[in-house]
Structure formats: C-alpha cells, structure tokens
Amino acid sequence: MKDKRTRILFLSLSLAALGGLLGYTQQPKPLDPFEEAMRQRQMYLETFGVLPGELYVEEGKELFFRKGPSGKTLEECDFGLGKGKLEGVYAVLPKYFPDSRKVEDLESRVYTCMQTVQGYKPEAIKREEVKAITTYIASFSSKAKMQVVPKHPQELAMYNLGRELWYARAGARDMSCAVCHDQYAGQRVRLSPVRSPKQGLGSEWPAYRFEADKLYTMEDRIAFCYESIAIPAPAFYSEPYIALTLYMLAEATKAGRSFEELPFFTR
C-alpha cells in the first residue's frame, strides 16, 4: 500500500476490537454465521470506514503495477483472457496455459508470472505478496458467474485428479473432502455451514475471516482443511490445490453458481 503503516494500524485496531466482536459468539444461542458476519462487517465499516479485504486489494494493486527485476509489471502477463486483461479472469480459472504448459489456478499463475515475466527468483517471492495480488485480480470477478469448463486434455486430467483427491480417504482420521462436504452438505460443523461444490463451495474466496483476523485465498482454505483433518498440507501452488480447485469450481459451474462479493467477509 502507499502507506503500509495505515494497514498495520488498521489491523492493530482490528485485533483490539476482535475481543469485543467475538463476544457475540459466546452467547448461549449463537447467531446465524452469515448474519453474524454481516453484523461484524457493518461494525468494521462504521468503526474504520473500510473493510480489511479492501486493504489487501489496494496492496495487490500496487504490487501488480510494481516493476520486477526484468523491468516489467504484471500487466505483461496473460491471466487467462489475454495479456493484461483482468475483468472476469478469476471466473475461468484454473485453466491450461500454453506458455507454462500446465494447468494453473490464479495463485500459481501469479507465482509463475512473477518469475517468467518479472524476473523474480522463487525464493524472493513472498507468499503474502502473491495473496495480495491474487485478491486484487479476483476483485475484478466479484459476483461473476463461474465458467470453469475443462476442455484441454491437461484440464480434464487435472479435473480427474481433483475428483480422486476429493473422495480419497487418508490420514489418521480416515477423512476425505467428500465426508464433510457431500455427506453433510446443508448442515453445520460447529457454527460453520457446510456446502458441496454444487452448492457453490469455493465461491467466497479470497475472503477476510474476522475470527482469524487474516485473509484466506482458495489455496489457504484448502490448506486449512488438510490441517483440520491432521494431514500435512501440500506446498502452495502445487497440483493438489489446483486439481481440487478445478474440480470444485467445475462442479459449481455445472450448477450455475456465481462468486460472492470478492474479497468476501466471513466468519
């Protein structure tokens, strides 16, 4: 951001306010999670005049137009609809890219272009910067209808891998994605509603989670699921994330789903 101290101050104030905000969740009869999130969202707006997700968008915008070691910005990258085009690109990803010869989601595509277009070494690329850039680009697909339709052979292979991972039971708890998200679709785990891909699972990421006081991308959310069932999460930008994302969003596309307001604000 232009003045990163603004973000630091905001997040510090957010943490100070978080204790009071979480008081709502301690009531004997908890609020509906969506209603609770909207209540907290309104409180943030009234208190700070801006939502946390908007700060990530602004930071991502600055990083997007920052010149890398090659002297180029990410305007030179094709994110799925042509060089420099951002409107609606998040809604068509993951997809196959001829230049990298692989299927990529938005996060891995940002990671790729920071190397191939901007000239950054992998070790110089910060995860938080990728998240911010991802959030900025995703904001151009806010409320967009999902259009993930595997056609290329590698897209079909990645979809099949995602479906396999979705149903594969693993770990000490013998769990799979389907155990929660298909078997208990429409119900709740603790206070959180459970959705299946056809019900629009994945439509809210990237999102700011006020209980954790941090922004989660789609890959972050998948990593959280791995950790929740005691399975070590894969390395970011790797095939399991891309395959699962492709499977979930392709199924949501078949059901005619759209993204929420991006970045979303959630519990």
Active site residues: 225
How far from the centroid of its chain's Cα atoms is residue 75's Cα?
21
Tokens of 237: 């930008």
Q: Longest Cα pair distance anywhere in the chain, in angstroms? A: 57
Catalogue the long-range contacts made by 21-28 (C-beta closer than 8 Å, 24 or more residues apart): 21/210, 22/211, 25/191, 25/211
How far from the centroid of its chain's Cα atoms is residue 68's Cα?
24
Report the distance separating Cα 172 and Cα 184, nearest Å: 20
What letter would DSSP give residue 176?
-
